[in-house]
Structure 1
Amino acid sequence: MLRCRLAQVLVASGVLAAAFGANAGARAEPDAHSITPLDIRILRPASVVPATDGRHLVFEALISNFSPVPMTLATVRLGTVAQPAALARFEGAALTALLSRPGRPSGDGQPPVTIIQGNTYAAALFDVHLGDDAEVADLRLALTIAPFKPDLPDTTLNTAVAVPLDRATPVVVSAPVAGTGWVAFNGLSATSIHRTTVMVVDGQARVPERYAIDFMRLTGDGREFGGDQARNESWPGYGQAVLAVADGVIESVRDGFPDNVPGRPPAQKVTLDTIAGNQVVLRMKGGAYAFYAHLIPGSIPVRPGQAVHKGEVLGRLGNSGQSDAPHLHFQVGDGGHIAASDGLPFVFDAFTLLGVVADTAAADAGGAWTPSQAPQPRHGQLPAENAVTGF
């Protein structure tokens, strides 16, 4: 006699939803159950982060297909038990932008990112702008799957999963640099290279750069560089002091990596050990870690185990490691290694918002940025991507 467990029958036969009576118009009750082959895992609890462009709800979900049958995502809804799509609804182009497929080969001939092949997965990177009065309690994430078998209803609904919420307030830090005209390149957004980098370190998927910022200073006339672009000294941030953002103890220091030539490949082969170049890791009171990367070789005056105070000089902004122009890579995490940690939300206690660099390609080509607003004092916020700030 052929023996097969119930779950094997349901997954292999493709009658997942039909077997449990799902239909096109069905809406799951809070305590209802459904079977689909999609497993939804939240990487870390969602955080609400106050930023210069409003509140952001930030988290990631890994969506795995446990069947051999391709599943096509039609809609993703984020809301509450009472209002399933109150916060966001993703479909069409918005759904495509939400999803990524780490490890999938690039190029033509690949199926749409919304199609999750059998025994593969997709990553959904959420960065949802919240209204001032948006309710974020009892969060639920639900998926709508297109028909995957003849005679199924138009849509098959996966039971919504709870999204845990991190209710801790973001880490409050002071300025890592001083002066005006600092651009928060690759800062908080749904599409920045920091936000979309999922790294697997020590056997765990993490987003260490989830809230990271590449601080680059503009010249007095609003340009990234003045003079010869290939000279580090032409970039106004080069050599600027990098400051302790809080009282704490130096966790680790790396030094001795050469500065790169702007616009050229790194002088040092990029590995997990060299990616940050010359760096300082500060263990702050409370247990979070502040990371400073790409410093000038020989510019770091502090040593591991040394106690430092807020505002103390930790090094000089440079262009070492995986960097193509002088800037300070700054992030906060839950562990002492810049890649083997998970990015934590943080805010600056005080800064001035001067505007936003709307055209980064023009800025990279040497174009001048001009402010389009009066300076605005901000407190307890994180600069959003490409915001121009002063400290």
Structure 2
Amino acid sequence: MARRRFAQVLVLSGLLAAAFGARAQPDVHSITPLDIRILRPASVVPATNGRHLVFEALISNFSPVPLTLSAVRLGTAAQPAALARIEGTALADLLSRPGRPAGEGQPPVTLIQGNTFATALFDLPLGGDTQVADLQLALTIAPFKPGLPDTTLNTAVAVPVDGSQPLVVSAPVAGTGWVAFNGLSATSIHRTTLMVVDGQARVPERYAIDFMKLTGDGREFSGDQARNESWPGYGQAVLAVADGVVESVRDGLPDNVPGQPPAQKVTLDTIAGNQVILRLKAGAYAAYAHLIPGSIPVRPGQAVHQGQVLGRLGNSGQSDAPHLHFQMGDRGHIAAADGLPFVFDAFALLGVVADTAAADAGGAWTPSQAPQPRHGQLPAENAVIGF
């Protein structure tokens, strides 16, 4: 019966080929045990340091045999490495291994043990006129048994591209001297944090920014570092970035002591501290985290307008110093959402904090350039800006 059914399929295929024209060459396929999944369509995001191509790939080894990645290619079918060929140290930097124990003695991150996985966090610079379409991602693996060629190529997989433009919003805070800590990059703690919520792996903080205000002489704090009031951003107004409706509010959580563990146990409910989530007309959600308890004047269901005060910048939740965590997502929860790209309509770029360790220790940052007006961009990691 099975042979007859297969024969029937072959006969039907022959009839279809006769009707529509037979393919001159069959598709070329390859068998490797690596499965490549793109977590979210790639986005092109204009930032203060150029255009970025941003997406993640989950690479799973479905065999019991350890496999070593030796190169990654990103391009098109006609030009497989048109955008990037990544190998060596750059390949190790590209990869992340969620759940892998830290410390010395671990195998190289490029070695994917049997029945395990790795994530590739792409944040590639694009030239001003580079067009992104028909993207394909392919992997090269080193020989894993005798008799194989020097390298084995995995069949390229398509990388979907989000053709829409990032959402344009206004400033979430006012004034100058704001540092975009943990902003857009492939290595920030926001980008490298994958969260599995409701059975789905997401990157909710993909484009998130920790806004921290500097003092007039370029320091993170002035006076007693352990007092929230010593940090110039503490108590600053947090503003609606667009017209919208308040989706949810969380209040009543205590502020932390700077430099000390959170005063409240960190859970999915308390991780953002006192927070406001705003549902925008564009269908995206703006999340504001770590606000001062009792400072939130808005309530769920309330319509708000661009520039309206939503609360005051604080130090609640999973936070070790006063700052505003701001992000955009596709759902009304700060963790059970996938991060969406956005840009600010206008701001001034003052420079970049090159040595964050020195800044955290109380060192002064000084601008290295005159303020540069920027429009329709996202501040890159550690950029210093003014609204």
TM-score between both structures, scaled by the size of structure 1: 0.92
Encode CA deviations 1:92-148: one digit per residue, 9 max, x unaligned: 110000001101111222211111111111000000011112231110101000001
Q: Is 1:117 the equivalent of 2:113?
A: yes
Give unmatched runs, 5+ long, in structure 1: 1-28
**2:258 maps to which of 252, 257, 262:** 262
Number of residue pairs the alignment of both structures matches: 363
- Structure 2 distance, partners of 1:159, 1:226, is 56
CA distance in 1 between counterparts of 2:275 and 2:76 reads 42
Aligned counterpart, 2:8 = none
Structure-2 residue corresponding to 1:127: 123
Structure 2 residues not aligned, in runs of 5+: 1-24
Match of 1:327 in 2: 323
1:249 matched to 2:245 = yes
1:31 CA displacement: 4.1
Query: Aligned pair 1:60/2:56, yes or no?
Result: yes
Q: Is 1:158 aligned with 2:150?
A: no
| 2:353 matches 1:357 | yes
Correspondence for 1:10: none
Which of 347, 372, 384 aligns to 1:388? It is 384
CA distance in 1, matches of 2:219, 2:377: 25
Partner of 2:366: 370
Letter in 2 for 1:289: Y
Deviation at 1:161, TM superposition (A): 0.6
* Match 1:71 to one of 64, 67, 78: 67
Q: Corresponding residue for 2:199?
A: 203
Aligned-partner SS, 1:249: strand
* Map of 2:187 onto structure 1: 191
Q: Is the 8 A contact 1:71 1:117 kept in 2?
A: yes
Query: 1:329-344 maps to which residues of 2 (within 5 A)?
Result: 329-344=325-340
Distance 1:195 1:184 in 2: 14
Q: State the shift of 1:215 in Å.
A: 0.1
Instruction: Give the secondary structure class of the aligned counterpart of 1:97.
Output: helix
After TM superposition, the structure 1 = structure 2 runs for residues 284-323 of structure 1, keeping only pairs within 5 Å, are 284-323=280-319
Q: Work out the CA distance in 1 between the residues paired with 2:106 and 2:362.
A: 36
1:278, distance to aligned residue in structure 2 (A): 0.1
Amino acid of the structure 1 residue aligned with 2:308: E
Runs of 4+ in 1 over 6 A off after TM superposition: none
In structure 2, how many angstroms separate the alpha carbons of the residues matched to 1:169 and 1:219?
Answer: 35
- State the match for 2:45 in structure 1: 49
Asked whether the 8 Å contact 1:87–1:134 carries over to 2, the reply is: no
After TM superposition, the structure 1 stretch with the greater mean CA deviation from structure 2, 131-140 or 151-160, is: 131-140
Q: CA deviation at 1:198?
A: 0.5
RMSD: 1.0
Offset of 1:230 from its aligned partner?
Answer: 0.4
Could you list the per-position Cα deviations for residues 350-369 of structure 1 after superposition, in whole angstroms to 9, with x for gaps in the alignment?
11111100110110010000
Normalising by the residue count of structure 2, what TM-score does the alignment of the two structures yield? 0.93
Contact 1:38 1:65 in 2 (8 A): yes
Q: Which residue among 95, 99, 124 is the counterpart of 1:99?
A: 95
Q: Provide the rounded CA distance (Å) in 2 between the counterparts of 1:81 and 1:326.
A: 48
